[in-house]
Structure 1
């Protein structure tokens, strides 16, 4: 006998009690617990799956024009040359691989930033506290970011919240030409028509997404089993005409706000649902999150009886 649909709904309310469904003539949308900046709702009907390998999704009009302009205004007089993480030390270093300028906002810096962060959490089903501070980036003519992975190669960065599991890239401006986000190893790169001159040569080397003000691109750097996805290789093509503004939110597998890892001799659960998950067998099914690995301790060590 199948599990009743109503029971699924009750489970949803149990784990997400603050979400409510609000109907309209066009579609149902999820409105965030305390409203959202500019009253902008999370609307899953505007999300399109563009690739399964890597997993990537495009959300049209994720941000309002007012939100885009506000984020740019917060950043425009605080920009510095963008850095990259050194593969050995994990330190931030300058590199010609990345020639943009940027800056980090504070988490929940104001009502708009907090609203965008909560909307990202609703879309990705990943906790707000797992995200890094939002980075605002500015690309001028010829500036780019060569193809790279968002997951880490060094242990130092992996110790801070674990690998980056997902990236939400929000476009804050239109670009006359160039500036596309390209996935050179996407399995569907050959199926995307690029015969016209609207695409840059860089964009023709993989599956590409054009920057459009307000749109957001979500892609995953890890597979569902938490192993790294080499197909998530991506880059920002050089801007040919105009300028490009974007906002990036990197999200980790664990809480990024925690100052340091839980010590091995501290036995506790980090989530109120740990006993329920442990009873359901998640300690064995999902040991990296529940128990931990060489990269860090898990979130449900007490319920999994490993300490």
Structure 2
């Protein structure tokens, strides 16, 4: 009887020890997988720190249209750097004439801005920003237009508009339609300057000191706003209508990345010299 009891005890002890060892080995395997995976399959551990990935906090603002706010998307140094390299080259912002397709100045858009050059995209800090955009949008870096840095002073604004291009201008256009927009805030605005989506949200908000219905996003230095100009059905989304509310006090600085359906950078790789008119026709809207 004693021998049988000892055998049962030894058997149960063996089973228990095996289960504990199995759990330990499984936890060890999970730890190794987590340690080796990193924050993104696109980047190494060293790149992860350089790209600021661990500090970015996404917040969904709307499903229709699709709008996501990324807190801490840019570092303060990146914001100041973009402003510094762009400021000497600012010119009156333009819109695309719906009749001629040419870029023209308009009372609908009173800010000043400039596109970064292809050479500037090779700078390490610009590379970090563009790679970060590609990671969080899941749109290849080559599909992005050159970054456009914009400055709004008091009373300046951009009336309601869509970022997608007129459908009759897409045929033969390098990169195709604009799929999404990443709007990055480079400064804090004392008053006004909100980004306003009249067809998003269901409450009221303040746009340049005026109470309106919809969704208003107040600029916060380092944050970025991602919104989709095309729906999941592959068609342009009219609900992505938005505006830049008038600045009341302070200055508003932003950097915008418009992302296309296909490669938008191949235009710059041609050996033929590009003209300002070709640049405006292909990249400004």
Q: Same fold (TM over 0.5)?
A: yes
Q: Could you say which residue in structure 1 is the equivalent of 2:110?
A: 99
2:216 corresponds to 1:208: yes
Alpha-carbon offset, residue 109 of structure 1: 3.8
Superposed CA offset, 1:238-270 (max 9, x none): 00010000000000111112349xxxxxxxxxx
**Using the alignment, how far apart are the partners of 2:71 and 2:139 within structure 1?**
20
CA distance in 2, matches of 1:203, 1:253: 36
Matched, 1:61 2:75: no
User: Counterpart of 2:33?
Assistant: none
- Please name the residue that 1:153 is paired with: 166
Q: Structure 2: how far apart are the matches of 1:48 and 1:154?
A: 31
Partner of residue 197 from structure 2, selected from 183, 186, 191: 183
Partner of 1:243: 251
What is the aligned length? 230
- Could you say which residue in structure 1 is the equivalent of 2:127? 114
Contact 1:81 1:99 survives alignment (8 Å)? yes
**Which protein is bigger by CA-based radius of gyration?**
2
Higher relative contact order (CA 8 A, sep 6+): 2
Distance change >3 Å, CA 156–CA 199, structure 1 → 2? closer
Q: Equivalent residue of 1:189, what SS?
A: coil
2:145 corresponding residue in structure 1: 132
Partner of 2:239: 231
Would you say the 8 A contact 1:138–1:246 is kept in 2?
A: yes
Q: Quote how far apart the aligned CAs of 1:33 are.
A: 4.5
Runs of 4+ displaced beyond 4 Å: 28-31, 33-38
Please give the per-residue CA displacement for 1:249-298, whole angstroms capped at 9, x wherever unaligned: 000111112349xxxxxxxxxxxxxxxxxxxxxxxxxxxxxxxxxxxxxx
Matched, 1:257 2:257: no
**1:70-116 deviation digits (Å, cap 9, x = unpaired):** 00000111100000112233211110100000001124241111110
Instruction: Specify the alignment match of 1:264 in structure 2.
Output: none
| Distance in structure 2 (CA, Å) of the matches to 1:35 and 1:129 | 22
Q: Aligned residue for 2:227?
A: 219
CA RMSD of aligned residues (A): 2.4
- Greater mean alpha carbon deviation, residues 146-155 or residues 238-247: 146-155
Quick one: structure 1 residues 112 and 206, their matched pair in 2 at CA, closer, same or farther if it must change by over 3 Å? same
- 1:42 deviates by 2.0
Structure 1 residues 200 and 156, CA gap change in structure 2 (3 angstroms): closer
How far apart, in 1, do the equivalents of 2:117 and 2:170 lie?
A: 19
Distance 1:132 1:143, change over 3 A: same
Gaps of 5+ in 2: 1-35, 269-285
In the superposition, the TM-score normalised over structure 1's length comes to: 0.69
User: Residue 254 of structure 2 aligns to a residue in which SS?
Assistant: strand
Higher helix content, 1 or 2: 2
Q: Which runs of 5+ in 1 are unaligned?
A: 1-19, 23-27, 261-307
**Cα shift at 1:44:** 8.1
Q: Distance in 2 between matches of 1:30 and 1:65?
A: 26
